């Protein structure tokens, strides 16, 4: 590679032939030079793994001089790999491309042999020395070697663990770009350092949490920075996820900085959609924080719910079995099952108010969280919060009325989620608790003559409850016979010239109302074992039904 005259090439080694050179390029061809390089690396690889050589190393006393030699050997191998890797890139479209690829593989094989030769007590100081090397590629490879060792080895002595934990400040310095004589640490190196910190935390943090407190602080600093590179931020988010799990209560002081920064990363939809790994990292971090410290989330709960509503729209594109979808589902479950009703219910009510007008399609995920929460609720909690839940549902069930001009199908989908959530509460109530609620809903649907859309909602609720309670619904349905008969007559176009609904889509709404009414009556008759259909009720309903036919 030396552009200068071949005769003046300096020789840095003591091994020389008669001409004073290790290998005379004047009298050999390029092919012979490549062959010589390949043989040299192969010889090194074989020597380092030969039984006799390994035996000599084992029997040799581990002195400071030997440790320095081992570090130098590792450094030289790493630098050589760097040089070969550059040649692979430079010769990618040339006939020699295959040779350089094979030589690179052989060089990596040689690196593995050197690595295997080092006892753990030597390995850690050697890696520490390499992490301060001037070459970024050597620093990165040193961290890769460390990562491999931590991942592969399962048993460590206490002294070795303490040595590994002493590497944390060095790794933090790389993450923070604090290096002498160097302006900026490579992004890939910072990512590798964050991965090393994550692995050390996973392996040794449970028994030794203290050294990881500054790691969390550093990672929070990173995600709080607006100028940070996205891949580095992704690694920082994964590091936060791991460290928070380990630190538990010790992570609480960082929450006032961590949560706003974390929620802010989830707000930038454009960046999340364009970078799937970044999105997964952010969701994982939020999931782990919620899992570890659910009782400290109340100041950030409304924002969490709003972000989940947003995320649901994004993750649909990845499919229900993707890692992102599964983690968002886990996050919803944690918020639904690990928080007390006194904390979650006010946040759900506020979130509903914000989402109902701005992102109507986002109400489905919110209702799913509330439904899961109600299903998991203790009976005494449900009784004490029934009035709060009833007030919420009375507000939420007005969704159809408030969006009377919107597309019927979309409104119907959202309303289905709200009713499904309401039914989960109904199924947990006693007859004494359910009866007043049902009649409250009945009165609500008829109080405002101008709000006929409420009738649609109520008839749909009655149909859903009839489907769930089956024969038991006849205990509450006596009040419905006369109003249902009136509805069948009022919505019959052969009996009246006036449209039942005052809107452009009046016909579609009338059809929908008839569908819910007839479905509910059909279930009442089907499941009636208590002689609900008396002569009087049959006469009330007979003519309206025949007239509809």
Report the C-alpha gap between 18 and 188 in whole angstroms: 45
pLDDT digits (tens, 9 = 90+) for 464-475: 999 999 988 888
Q: Using DSSP, state whether 350 is helix, strand or coil.
A: helix
Please compute Rg for the chain using Cα positions.
36
User: Is residue 492 over pLDDT 70?
Assistant: yes
Quick one: the chain helix, strand, coil %, rounded to 5? 75, 0, 25
In 50-96, alpha helices (H):
51-59, 64-90
In a domain, 481, yes or no: yes
Summarize the confidence of residues 84-98 as an average pLDDT. 88
User: Is residue 501 over pLDDT 90?
Assistant: no
CB–CB of 348/303 below 8 Å? no
User: Is residue 2 over pLDDT 80?
Assistant: no
Summarize the confidence of residues 218-237 as an average pLDDT. 91
In a domain, 525, yes or no: yes
In a domain, 469, yes or no: yes
Summarize the confidence of residues 96-103 as an average pLDDT. 91
Determine the pLDDT at residue 8. 47
In a domain, 457, yes or no: yes
Determine the pLDDT at residue 241. 96
Q: Which residues pair with 179 in a beta bridge?
A: 182
User: Is residue 452 over pLDDT 50?
Assistant: yes
DSSP letter string over 170-211? HHHHHHTT-BTTBS---HHHHHHHHHHHHHHHHHHTTT--GG
The better pLDDT of the pair 180, 204 is held by: 204
Name, in order, each residue with C-beta under 8 angstroms of 412's C-beta and a sequence gap of 6 or more: 512
Determine the pLDDT at residue 123. 85
Determine the pLDDT at residue 179. 53
Greatest C-alpha distance within the chain: 123
Determine the pLDDT at residue 449. 59
In a domain, 422, yes or no: no
Confidence of residue 293 (pLDDT cuts 50, 70, 90): very high
User: Is residue 9 over pLDDT 90?
Assistant: no
pLDDT digits (tens, 9 = 90+) for 380-418: 999 999 999 999 999 999 999 988 888 889 999 999 999
Domain count for the chain: 1
Q: Whole domain around residue 461: which residue ranges? A: 441-548
Most confident of 8-12, 120-124, 201-205, 505-509: 201-205
Summarize the confidence of residues 291-299 as an average pLDDT. 94
The answer to which of 82-96, 299-313, 365-379 has the lowest mean pLDDT is 82-96
Tell me how many degrees the CA angle 389-390-394 measures, rounded to the nearest 5: 120
Determine the pLDDT at residue 25. 79
CB–CB of 326/335 below 8 Å? no
Determine the pLDDT at residue 15. 46
Determine the pLDDT at residue 227. 82
Determine the pLDDT at residue 12. 46
In a domain, 477, yes or no: yes
pLDDT digits (tens, 9 = 90+) for 235-261: 999 999 999 999 999 999 999 999 999
Buried residues in 185-220 as b, exposed as e (16+ CB within 10 A): beeebbbbbbbbbbbbbebbbeebbebbeebbbbbb
In a domain, 191, yes or no: no
The better pLDDT of the pair 31, 505 is held by: 31
DSSP letter string over 486-534? HHHHHT-TTT-SS-SSSSTTHHHHHHHHHHHHHHHHHHHHHT--S--S-
User: Is residue 6 over pLDDT 70?
Assistant: no
Nearest to 427 by CA among 438, 417, 416: 438
Summarize the confidence of residues 29-56 as an average pLDDT. 91
**Rounded mean pLDDT of the chain?**
88
User: Is residue 27 over pLDDT 90?
Assistant: no
The better pLDDT of the pair 483, 226 is held by: 483
Summarize the confidence of residues 134-139 as an average pLDDT. 81
pLDDT digits (tens, 9 = 90+) for 347-382: 999 999 999 888 777 899 999 999 999 999 999 999
Determine the pLDDT at residue 14. 45
How big is the chain, counted in residues?
549
Report the C-alpha gap between 318 and 327 in whole angstroms: 12
Report the C-alpha gap between 185 and 103 in whole angstroms: 28
Please report where in the chains the tokens 């002294």 appear, as a residue: 159
In a domain, 501, yes or no: yes
Determine the pLDDT at residue 11. 44
Confidence of residue 336 (pLDDT cuts 50, 70, 90): very high
Q: What percent of the chain has pLDDT over 70?
A: 94
**pTM, two decimal places:** 0.82
CB–CB of 308/328 below 8 Å? yes
Determine the pLDDT at residue 1. 46
User: Is residue 183 over pLDDT 70?
Assistant: no
Determine the pLDDT at residue 74. 85
Nearest to 262 by CA among 278, 246, 245: 278
Determine the pLDDT at residue 62. 73
């Amino acid at each position: 590679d030396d552009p200068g005259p071949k005769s003046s090439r300096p020789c840095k080694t003591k091994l020389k032939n008669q001409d004073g050179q290790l290998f005379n390029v004047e009298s050999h061809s390029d092919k012979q030079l490549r062959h010589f390089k390949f043989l040299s690396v192969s010889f090194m690889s074989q020597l380092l793994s030969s039984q006799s050589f390994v035996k000599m190393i084992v029997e040799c006393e581990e002195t400071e001089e030997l440790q320095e030699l081992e570090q130098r050997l590792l450094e030289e191998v790493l630098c050589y790999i760097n040089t070969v890797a550059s040649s692979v890139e430079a010769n990618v479209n040339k006939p020699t491309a295959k040779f350089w690829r094979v030589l690179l593989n052989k060089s990596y094989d040689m690196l593995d042999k050197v690595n295997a030769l080092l006892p753990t007590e030597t390995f850690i100081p050697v890696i520490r020395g390499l992490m301060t090397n001037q070459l970024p590629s050597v620093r990165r490879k040193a961290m890769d070697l460390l990562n491999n060792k931590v991942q592969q080895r399962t048993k460590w002595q206490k002294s070795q663990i303490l040595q590994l934990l002493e590497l944390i400040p060095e790794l933090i310095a790389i993450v923070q770009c604090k290096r002498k004589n160097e302006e900026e640490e490579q992004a890939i190196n910072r990512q590798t350092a964050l991965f090393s910190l994550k692995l050390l935390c996973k392996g040794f943090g449970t028994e030794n949490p203290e050294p990881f407190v500054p790691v969390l602080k550093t990672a929070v600093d990173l995600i709080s920075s607006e100028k940070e590179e996205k891949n580095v931020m992704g690694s920082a988010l994964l590091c936060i996820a791991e460290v928070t799990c380990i630190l538990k209560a010790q992570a609480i002081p960082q929450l006032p900085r961590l949560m706003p920064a974390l929620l802010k990363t989830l707000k930038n939809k454009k960046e999340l959609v364009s970078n799937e790994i970044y999105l997964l990292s952010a969701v994982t971090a939020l999931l782990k924080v919620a899992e570890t410290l659910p009782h400290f989330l109340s100041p950030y709960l409304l924002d969490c719910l709003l972000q989940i509503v947003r995320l649901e729209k994004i993750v649909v594109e990845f499919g229900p079995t993707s890692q992102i979808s599964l983690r968002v589902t886990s996050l919803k479950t944690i918020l639904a099952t690990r928080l007390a009703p006194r904390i979650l219910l006010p946040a759900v009510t506020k979130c509903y108010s914000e989402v109902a007008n701005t992102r109507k399609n986002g109400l489905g995920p919110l209702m799913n969280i509330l439904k899961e929460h109600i299903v998991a609720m203790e009976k005494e909690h449900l009784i004490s919060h029934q009035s709060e839940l009833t007030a919420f549902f009375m507000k939420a069930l007005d969704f159809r009325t408030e969006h009377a001009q919107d597309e019927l199908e979309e409104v119907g989908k959202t309303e289905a989620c709200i009713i499904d959530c309401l039914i989960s509460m109904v199924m947990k109530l006693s007859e004494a608790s359910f009866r007043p609620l049902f009649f409250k809903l009945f009165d609500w649907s008829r109080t405002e003559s101008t709000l006929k859309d409420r009738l649609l909602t109520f008839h749909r609720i009655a149909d859903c409850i009839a489907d769930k309670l089956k024969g038991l619904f006849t205990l509450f349905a006596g009040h419905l016979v006369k109003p249902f008969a009136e509805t069948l007559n009022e919505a019959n176009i052969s009996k009246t010239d006036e449209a039942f609904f005052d809107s452009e889509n009046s016909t579609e709404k009338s059809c929908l109302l008839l569908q819910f009414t007839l479905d509910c009556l059909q279930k009442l008759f089907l499941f009636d074992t208590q002689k609900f259909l008396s002569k009087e009720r049959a006469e009330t309903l007979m003519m309206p039904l025949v007239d509809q036919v």
